[in-house]
Amino acid sequence: MENSVREIMLGFARRTGLEPPASPSRRYLWTDAFAVCNFLGLFVEKNDDEALRLALQLVDETHAVLGRHRPDATHRGWLSGLDDEYGAEHPTLGGLRIGKNLPERRPGEPFDAELEWERDGQYFHYLTKWVHALDSVSRVTKDPNPRRWAIELARSSHDCFAVRDAAGTPMGFHWKMRVDRSEPLVHSMGQHDPLDAFMTYSRLQAGNDSTEQVDLSRELRDAAQLCVGKNWYTDDALGIGGLLTDAYALARMMVAGITNEPVLLDAILEAAIAGLETFAGSQLLERPNAFRLPFREFGLSIGLNAAARLQTLVQAEAASFKHMDRLPSSLSALARFSGIPSRINSFWLEPENRGSTNWSGHREINEVMLATSLAPYGYLEI
């Protein structure tokens, strides 16, 4: 399995112009965030020095491409508007583009919901993924710069995407902003964006060690307020996987004394279990490849990997969860779905099942998330 993961990631590096370097380099923020974590996992678990080099190279390349305006844009240079030298020192201050093929919708151009999925801009939930990746790089290398870039990205993104009422109370986050963050392209909020924010800020606030603290209390307060009473239920495979990943990350932070959110943990697990029951009843995994979306399924597989790790963590650190009366039944319910990851991975590892446009049309994100599904250590544990 390890060789397969390494081969997948090296293939991704070649095809996207990372290694050997090629122009144009094809960068996509979500995929690159998972790829960085995969490379870090290969380094930590397998002592693979080449993987670490590629992780660091990918960070620099993603900033150089997605931290700058598109080649076909009117503007040039860093999205932050900083000059070349200072912008290179603070590559995330202006955020990062999604990396979509089409340019963003022009001012005054009618909104087309279907076409908007193919247009560039900035997504809040992609930016939180990149914050996680940068923080992971610092945790592995002990280099403070990636973490500083993560902090600058988290703070600037929060201020730009947050929606507030007249009194300044947070009401949500815009789902999608223009490349220059001048206005929202999609006003509605992603269902799990507040949770993404809370988890990302909490992890970042904790720092690599006690000497590297940063004050994200304002951002954390906003995110926590938006999480209160929220219904997290979704029957989307990727969304369920994200909930389970967050549940495991939250439990780890509770054990470490970083935060104490038993009510939130219960709510996340309750929503994930309800979503899993709906998902299992849909029999989506019985359908032909042309009717399935691999990367969304891999998101679920990654989340169920996190759920298995949560079971082990709770058993080892029972004292941290002794007041959570619903937790044992939640873990028991999750165990009913433990066979899903192997079903998903086995199906998509078969070459004939990768023959549809659902695979080839999204090859990079599919393969990188397959690698994460097969070897989730870098994404879940660092």
User: For every residue of 286-334, which 3-state class applies, written as one string?
Assistant: HCCHHHCCHHHHHHHHHHHHHHHHHHHHHHHCHHHHCCCCCHHHHHHHH
Give residue 206's pLDDT band: very low, low, confident or very high (50, 70, 90): confident
CA angle 106, 112, 118 (to 5 degrees): 75
Q: For residue 172, list its beta bridge partners.
A: 163
Residues 365-377 as b or e (16 or more Cβ within 10 Å = b) = bbbbbbbbbbbbb
Picking from 110-124, 187-201, 209-223, 301-315, which range would have the lowest pLDDT averaged per residue? Answer: 209-223
CB 121 within 8 A of CB 157: no
- What is the structure's pLDDT at 215? 87
- What is the structure's pLDDT at 284? 96
Q: Strand (E) positions, the chain?
A: 122-123, 162-164, 170-173, 176-177, 184-186
- What is the structure's pLDDT at 210? 44
CA 268 to chain centre: 17
Judge whether residue 211 has pLDDT over 80.
no
pLDDT 10s digits, 282-291: 999 999 999 9
Candidates 149, 100, 180; CA nearest to 364 is 100
Distance, CA of 74 to CA of 4 (rounded, Å) = 42
Cis preceding linkage at 376, omega within 30: no
DSSP 37-52: HHHHHHHHHH--HHHH
Judge whether residue 212 has pLDDT over 60.
no
Token pair for residue 181?
């963050």
Distance, CA of 302 to CA of 306 (rounded, Å) = 6
Task: Mention every residue, 6+ apart, whose C-beta is less than 8 A from residue 230.
Answer: 194, 195, 267
Candidates 270, 367, 370, 255; CA nearest to 309 is 255
pLDDT 10s digits, 157-175: 999 999 999 999 999 999 9
What mean pLDDT, rounded, does the chain reach?
Answer: 96
CB 39 within 8 A of CB 55: yes
- What is the structure's pLDDT at 169? 94
Mean local confidence (pLDDT), 373-379:
98
pLDDT 10s digits, 226-237: 999 999 999 999
pTM equals: 0.97
What single DSSP character describes residue 164? E
Mean local confidence (pLDDT), 110-132:
97
Start-to-end CA distance of the chain, whole Å, equals: 20
- φ, ψ for residue 172, nearest 5 deg: 160, -165
Judge whether residue 376 has pLDDT over 90.
yes
Q: For residue 184, list its beta bridge partners.
A: 177
Helix (H, G, I), strand (E, B) or coil at 275: helix
Distance, CA of 201 to CA of 216 (rounded, Å) = 7
DSSP 102-134: BPPPPTTPPP-HHHHTTB--EEHHHHHHHHHHH
- The domain segmentation of the chain, as residue ranges, is 231-382
pLDDT 10s digits, 18-74: 999 998 999 999 999 999 999 999 999 999 999 999 999 999 999 999 999 999 999
Residue 204 amino acid letter: L
Q: What is the dihedral of CA 301, 125, 253, 134, to 10 degrees?
A: 100
Candidates 310, 378, 367; CA nearest to 10 is 367
Mean local confidence (pLDDT), 126-133:
98
Mean local confidence (pLDDT), 180-186:
96
Helix (H, G, I), strand (E, B) or coil at 68: strand
Token pair for residue 107?
């001012």
pLDDT 10s digits, 232-285: 999 999 999 999 999 999 999 999 999 999 999 999 999 999 999 999 999 999
Mean local confidence (pLDDT), 178-189:
96
Give residue 3's pLDDT band: very low, low, confident or very high (50, 70, 90): low
